[in-house]
Amino acid sequence: DTGVSQDPRHKITKRGQNVTFRCDPISEHNRLYWYRQTLGQGPEFLTYFQNEAQLEKSRLLSDRFSAERPKGSFSTLEIQRTEQGDSAMYLCASSLITNRPNTEAFFGQGTRLTVV
């Protein structure tokens, strides 16, 4: 399978614990996005990377959230001191950005986080 891969698929954690999610994009893709989705809502933008550079982080994200893409390939999203409101599906997507407007992004299966 050469699509976007996310790990783990499900995570249950106690409030106050730290969690880390991993995303492996499609191999030649230089752009990587993180989104959060709750029930009945569309994906909410969290952050995105061009290669290893983080371009923007949503103002909605507290300082408890951090993301990295150290070598421009896989990315990690860490949530520190989790709260119940962090329970959501965390989606990763990747795309190949060129000079042409072919910016469709391909999504992974997501990591469903439940904070108890």
Partner 1 sequence: EDKVVQSPLSLVVHEGDTVTLNCSYEVTNFRSLLWYKQEKKAPTFLFMLTSSGIEKKSGRLSSILDKKELFSILNITATQTGDSAVYLCAGTLNRDDKIIFGKGTRLHILP
Q: Which residues bind partner 1 (CB under 8 A)?
A: 4, 31, 33, 35, 40-45, 48, 50, 55-56, 89, 91, 93, 95, 97, 101-110
How does DSSP classify residue 22? E
Instruction: Give the nearer residue to partner 1 in terms of CB position, either 18 or 41.
Output: 41
Q: Cβ 70 to partner 1, closest distance in Å?
A: 20
d(Cα 115, Cα 13) in Å, to the nearest integer?
Answer: 5
Q: Cβ 81 to partner 1, closest distance in Å?
A: 27
Q: Cβ 17 to partner 1, closest distance in Å?
A: 24
Instruction: Give the nearer residue to partner 1 in terms of CB position, either 6 or 82.
Output: 6
Instruction: Give the nearer residue to partner 1 in terms of CB position, either 48 or 65.
Output: 48
Q: What is the DSSP string of 30-83?
A: -EEEEEEE-TTSPPEEEEEEETTEEEEE-TT--TTEEEE-TTSS-EEEEESS--
Q: Cβ 93 to partner 1, closest distance in Å?
A: 8
Torsion 84-66-39-107 (CA) sign: negative
